[in-house]
Amino acid sequence: MKEVITYSLHDYVRSHKYFPPISTYFVLILVFYTYKPNPIVDSYAITALFLFVISAWLCMSVLSLDSPVQRQLLILHLGSSCQYYLAKLVTVWLITLLLTVFTFLYPIIFNMFSGTVSFTIGFVTFANHVLLATLGIGIASFFSKVMMESAINAYGGLALTIILSITALGIHEALPASIRYVTWLLPPATVTQQPLIQWEGDSLSHLSYLSFIWIVIYAGVIILLFLILAKKRR
């Protein structure tokens, strides 16, 4: 699987399909940190949402890269379609990991914050970026070329899902109490926002872990479902 990941990274770079999502992300980060100083945790919470959207975009482009013939050859090489699709998702995840490192270090290097980033704050905010990137990848996999033949339906459905996931807290408050539970079906892209904003950053014991655990569970389930469904579609 390592060889397929390496091949996918090289092929993706050669295709230049990485340029629109990654350049957009760099512009978002640069514009966001135009003014300083900025609050540390709040800023990282917002940039994590940026990464959530861009990771979904990256996943769509990576999964649409291989032709049917290439896909079949790689699956034959691995001996498993699940390993092939997992290798593709890992490829996207590695790209988002590099973007996370950039997002984390850029404001520190250029002194964009109002204070010093402690190890505790750094660990939590870095993990939040990784989790939301993984969630974005999982969501996008369901709208990729692997699952949908129509590009309009794929990108339209993904855009709608991302919008609903970002506005989930507002939808939750607007719905009657008797049916608010339906918002749990939406991707939990913003569930860590409120805990992070309310967190003073002094101790991990003062931070609620439930929101982070829910993202792990949700992302894990949808990625597993994608691998199962993609195998059946083959």
Between the CA of residue 129 and those of 5, 50, 89, 214, what are the distances in Å? 22, 9, 16, 15
Exposure b/e, 183-193, CB count within 10 A at least 16 = b:
beebbbbbbbb
pLDDT digit string (tens) for 105-157? 999 999 999 889 999 999 999 999 999 999 999 999 999 988 888 888 899 99
**Percentage of the chain exceeding pLDDT 70:** 99
pTM over 0.85: yes
Judged against a pLDDT cut of 80, whether residue 83 lies above it is answered with yes
What single letter denotes the amino acid at residue 228? I
Between the CA of residue 90 and those of 95, 99, 206, what are the distances in Å? 9, 14, 32
Q: Which residues, at least 6 apart from 225, have a Cβ–Cβ distance to it below 8 Å?
A: 142
pLDDT at 178 (0 to 100):
74
Q: What integer is the mean pLDDT of 94-102? A: 97
Identify the residue with better confidence: 1 or 135.
135
Q: What integer is the mean pLDDT of 68-94? A: 89
Q: What integer is the mean pLDDT of 95-105? A: 97
Distance CA 86, CA 94 (A): 12
pLDDT at 196 (0 to 100):
87
Q: What integer is the mean pLDDT of 53-82? A: 89
pLDDT at 181 (0 to 100):
79
pLDDT-based confidence at residue 234 (cuts at 50, 70, 90): low
Q: What integer is the mean pLDDT of 14-39? A: 93
pLDDT digit string (tens) for 177-214? 777 777 788 899 998 888 888 887 677 777 888 999 99
Cis peptide before 37 (omega within 30 of 0): yes
Q: Residue 186 corresponds to which tokens in the numbers above? A: 């939406």
pLDDT at 219 (0 to 100):
96
**Percentage of the chain exceeding pLDDT 90:** 59
Give the chain's mean pLDDT: 90
Whether the Cβ atoms of residue 124 and residue 207 lie closer than 8 Å to each other: yes
| Segment of 68-82, 93-107, 143-157 carrying the highest mean pLDDT | 93-107
What DSSP state is assigned to residue 206? G
Whether the Cβ atoms of residue 175 and residue 183 lie closer than 8 Å to each other: yes
